[in-house]
Amino acid sequence: MNPADLERLIDRELRKLPAPRAPRSLLPRIMAAASDTAARPWYTRAWLTWPVGWQLASAVVLMGVVAGTAMLLPQIQAAVTTLTFIADARGEVASSARGFETTTTAVRVLWRTIVAPVVPYAFGLITLMCAACAVFGTALNHLVFGKAFR
């Protein structure tokens, strides 16, 4: 049998077939599913099934968001650039502050551990040296120079 005859034969025989009937269980299933769907809030369903007012409102909001984004994009870009610059500057300042803090801490530690314990003795030694110098100078003035320096 050639393909064209075969096509005609099968087409004719298939068209004679009665349409299969839906099982009796289908209708109750569909009605139960429809009842469940009706019980769901409208916003959980497909957008196309939303109330017209909400469809319009959501479309307006969406367009507003898109238009606002398009209009604000240059400003947003500029703001981002500025914020980036400020952040960089803050980073540098923070870095400098950290360096300064490290230095002062090191100085403070050195002072407390090495210099501070010696300072009273050094001060006393310097005072004694100054007093000794004053006594020696006065003695020289009286004995050697005949009170030449007054």
In terms of Cβ atoms closer than 10 Å to its own Cβ (0-12, 13-18, 19+), residue 105 is: exposed
Which residue number, 25 or 75, has a Cβ lying nearer to other proteins?
Answer: 25
Q: How far is the CB of 3 from other proteins (least distance, A)?
A: 6
Read off the tokens for 32. 């139960």
In terms of Cβ atoms closer than 10 Å to its own Cβ (0-12, 13-18, 19+), residue 141 is: middle
Which DSSP category does 18 fall into? P
Long-range contacts of 107-110 (CB under 8 A, 24+ apart): none
Dihedral angle at the C-alpha atoms of 113, 115, 118, 124, nearest 10 degrees? Answer: -150
Task: Give strand ranges (E) for the chain.
Answer: none
Q: How far is the CB of 94 from other proteins (least distance, A)?
A: 56
Q: How far is the CB of 69 from other proteins (least distance, A)?
A: 31
Q: How far is the CB of 44 from other proteins (least distance, A)?
A: 11
Which residue number, 13 or 92, has a Cβ lying nearer to other proteins?
Answer: 13
Residues of the shown chain interacting with other proteins in the complex, contacts defined by CB under 8 A: 1, 3, 6-7, 9-11, 13-23, 25-27, 29-31, 33-34, 37-38, 45-46, 48-49
Which residue number, 43 or 149, has a Cβ lying nearer to other proteins?
Answer: 43
Which residue number, 20 or 146, has a Cβ lying nearer to other proteins?
Answer: 20
